[in-house]
Structure 1
């Protein structure tokens, strides 16, 4: 179980992501982490691993590459990276906190099921560290634009409050930053995971030789506005924080199903 931290000055922090070791979001998160602690480690995928969810590499060996002191890449998934860090590279003193991100693109609603960013944080929680997944939504008007200054401004406060909160347990949080400049951010909201009205699209096409193919398309962004949901709050200009857990049991149905198998 994680220990309660009074401050982050002496905390050991592990960073990972699913966008890869050279991703912009990881460098932004590294800058934030170094503001909070002098003991920052980075163990991230060698290449992009978006939407790999909580997958592990089981049918081939993994290889580590040391890039610098406390900085490694792994030729595997985000979950592989956190597992290798906590069970091998940092096994002598495991991290107090795992930070995953900052993802290029939000992880809201059903995104958390597919997200390698969230999975890396979840693996950290499973292995005993307080863990936070962080993602940045693209600009509301220009999807090629990302307001990293918004993350840099509010990230330290969000991470510090979540990491030093005196609630016991291996806590897991999903943080999303809106796609707007600093001055337009309305505040920070703790809210529930939202729900989109539809799922992912499937695109049909033909390759250059004329053979048909199917391609997994974009997530449908439309959702019904529900109070206190992450999809609603971020659309309103708030930074969202959603507490998650890896116990997927539907507790209400568990009780109702009792009479089916007495």
Structure 2
């Protein structure tokens, strides 16, 4: 199996490097194409009005290759699929391990999830992996879980789509502690913070306090709240099928 790894935290991020080590022991080939620096909340943005710069890191072998890209996570997948790996397409795309959750409606803003969303466009299955609190030990446990999910879901199960994986801050990291749940709305409080610039002028920052308490029980947010691993299949098609006839009535 050839696996493409990416993220939105940057090539040198702990989560990505630990995942790379784990996948190197499993896959035939691992290619890492990731942003040169932090690109969190990049969503599905793509660089079209600026030049991209790519740097291939030394030490490449027949089994592992690492490339940094000056753009977004989606840029990284497109550079991989359209250029670097055009003659050796991967069998699976994994985005992560992200430092911080990507739950519910937050997947709309997530660079981590958006990179995985590129998979179906190229007819390649994909997984996005995020965790609430990243310590080295917990990250290594998560990387082992990712390997188990690859084997069970994508190899044995031949799942063709996108799987969004979120790991709770506490609790066992194993398939036994995983639940398949739908998305919900992720609520934040105090989203806009007022600040003073160095010249005294008023400015603002989008922040927010995460609220896990209000989500319905059968949801990804509640799953994390209860200490379980949340597995959510996603799709990139956004057509509201049940609304088609309703809209046709007014045309």
Tell me, yes or no, whether TM beats 0.5.
Answer: yes
The partner residue of 1:53 within 35, 43, 47 is 43
The partner residue of 1:136 within 131, 146, 162 is 131
Poorly superposed stretches of 4+, deviation over 3 Å: 165-169, 181-186, 197-200
Partner of 1:117: 112
Partner of 1:208: 198
The partner residue of 2:150 within 154, 159, 165 is 159
Partner of 1:180: 170
TM-superposed deviation, 1:45: 0.3
| Structure 2 residues without counterparts, runs of 5 or longer | none
TM-superposed deviation, 1:162: 2.2
TM-superposed deviation, 1:157: 1.0
CA distance in 2, matches of 1:86, 1:183: 31
Paired residues of 2:5 and 2:94 also in contact (CA < 8 A) = yes
The partner residue of 2:28 within 24, 38, 45 is 38
Paired residues of 1:17 and 1:26 also in contact (CA < 8 A) = yes
The partner residue of 2:72 within 69, 77, 88 is 77
Matches within 5 A, 1:83-102: 83-102=78-97
The partner residue of 1:126 within 121, 135, 152 is 121
The partner residue of 2:98 within 94, 97, 103 is 103
Paired residues of 1:98 and 1:129 also in contact (CA < 8 A) = yes
CA distance in 2, matches of 1:145, 1:33: 16
SS in 1 for 2:25: helix
TM-superposed deviation, 1:146: 8.0
Paired residues of 1:185 and 1:237 also in contact (CA < 8 A) = no
CA distance in 1, matches of 2:189, 2:81: 34
* Higher deviation after alignment, 157-166 or 55-64: 157-166
SS in 1 for 2:207: strand
Q: TM-score if structure 1 supplies the norm length?
A: 0.87
**CA shift in 2, pair 1:183/1:57, >3 Å:** closer
CA distance in 2, matches of 1:176, 1:145: 16
| Structure 1 residues without counterparts, runs of 5 or longer | 1-10
CA distance in 2, matches of 1:38, 1:185: 24
**CA shift in 2, pair 1:176/1:59, >3 Å:** same
CA deviations 1:72-113 (Å, max 9, x no partner) are 000000000000001100100111100000000010011100
Work out whether 1:238 is the aligned partner of 2:233.
no
Paired residues of 1:150 and 1:177 also in contact (CA < 8 A) = no
**CA shift in 2, pair 1:165/1:186, >3 Å:** closer
Q: TM-score if structure 2 supplies the norm length?
A: 0.90
**CA shift in 2, pair 1:221/1:44, >3 Å:** same
SS in 1 for 2:186: coil
TM-superposed deviation, 1:180: 1.5
